[in-house]
Chains A and B, each alone.
Chain A
Amino acid sequence: AQRVTQPEKLLSVFKGAPVELKCNYSYSGSPELFWYVQYSRQRLQLLLRHISRESIKGFTADLNKGETSFHLKKPFAQEEDSAMYYCALMNAGGTSYGKLTFGQGTILTVHP
Chain B
Amino acid sequence: EAGVAQSPRYKIIEKRQSVAFWCNPISGHATLYWYQQILGQGPKLLIQFQNNGVVDDSQLPKDRFSAERLKGVDSTLKIQPAKLEDSAVYLCASSFRGVNYGYTFGSGTRLTVV
Contacts and interface: CB of A to CB of B under 8 A. Distances in A.
Interface of A: 4, 32, 34, 36, 43-46, 49, 51, 86, 88, 90, 95-105
B48 A99 contact: yes
Given A96-B48, A98-B95, A104 B42 contact: yes
A49 B102 contact: yes
A98 B103 contact: yes
Contacts of B97: 97-98
A99 B45 contact: yes
Contacts of B102: 34, 36, 46, 49, 90
Contacts, number: 59
Interface of B: 3, 31, 33, 35, 40-45, 48, 55-56, 91, 95, 97, 100-108
A104 B45 contact: no
A43 B101 contact: no
Nearest to B89: A44
Given A32-B100, A34-B102, A96-B48, A44 B55 contact: no
